[in-house]
C-alpha cells in the first residue's frame, strides 16, 4: 500500500497531469503523456503520477499489464478545497477581497453577459445563505 503524503501545492506538471486525468476520467501513463503539451518522458510522467498517488490525489487499478489511474476526489471538490486554501493564504479568508482582486485584474476583459452572470451568482448565494 502506498504511503500517503500530506496534500501540498501541485507543481505545473502535476496540475497538467491532474487536468488530463480529469478530462479523460481515468487514464494510463501513456494516455496522460499524450494529453500533455510538450510532455516529459514516459518515466517522468509515471514518477509524477506515483507522487500524486502518494499524495492521495490518484488511485489505480490494474488492466492487464497497465495501471489505470483516476482521481480520488471530484474536480469540484478539488476546486473548492483549492479555493479555501487560496482565500486563507492570500485574502485572510475574505471572498470579497478575492473577488475584488480578480475583478481588478480582469474587469476590462469581462462582457456585460459576464457581469450579469456574476450578479446572478451573488444573488443565488445570498438566497441560499452561503
Question: Taking the domains of the chain in order of start, what are their residue ranges?
Answer: 12-71, 91-128
- Choose among 5, 19, 12, 86: nearest CA to 52: 5
**What's the pLDDT score for residue 8?**
60
Q: What is the pLDDT of residues 30-49, one digit of tens each?
A: 999 999 999 999 999 999 99
Across 52-88, b (16+ Cβ under 10 Å) vs e yields bbebebbebeeeeeebbbebeeeeeebeeeeeeeeee
**Cα separations (Å) of 130 from 16, 25, 52, 126?**
31, 30, 32, 6
Judged against a pLDDT cut of 80, whether residue 74 lies above it is answered with yes
**What class is the 12-71 domain?**
mainly alpha
Q: Per-residue pLDDT averaged across 45-74, rounded?
A: 95
The percent of residues in the chain predicted with pLDDT above 70, rounded, is 93
Looking at residues 71-90, what average pLDDT do you find?
Answer: 88
Query: 5 φ, ψ to 5°?
Result: -90, 155
Segment 53-70 shows an average pLDDT of 96
Residue with cell 446572478: 120
pTM for the predicted model, two decimal places: 0.66
**Residues 27 and 35 sit within 8 Å (Cβ to Cβ):** yes
Q: Is the pLDDT of residue 2 over 70?
A: no
Amino acid at each position: 500500500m502506498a504511503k500517503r503524503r500530506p496534500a501540498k501545492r501541485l507543481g505545473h506538471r502535476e496540475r497538467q497531469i491532474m487536468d488530463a486525468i480529469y478530462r479523460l476520467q481515468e487514464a494510463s501513463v501513456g494516455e496522460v503523456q499524450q494529453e500533455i503539451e510538450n510532455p516529459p518522458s514516459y518515466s517522468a510522467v509515471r514518477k509524477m503520477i506515483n507522487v500524486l498517488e502518494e499524495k492521495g490525489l490518484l488511485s489505480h487499478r490494474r488492466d492487464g499489464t497497465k495501471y489505470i489511474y483516476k482521481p480520488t476526489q471530484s474536480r469540484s471538490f478539488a476546486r473548492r478545497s483549492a479555493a479555501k486554501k487560496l482565500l486563507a493564504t492570500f485574502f485572510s479568508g475574505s471572498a470579497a477581497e478575492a473577488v475584488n482582486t480578480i475583478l481588478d485584474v480582469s474587469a476590462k476583459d469581462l462582457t456585460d453577459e459576464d457581469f450579469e452572470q456574476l450578479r446572478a451568482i451573488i444573488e443565488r448565494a445570498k438566497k441560499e445563505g452561503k
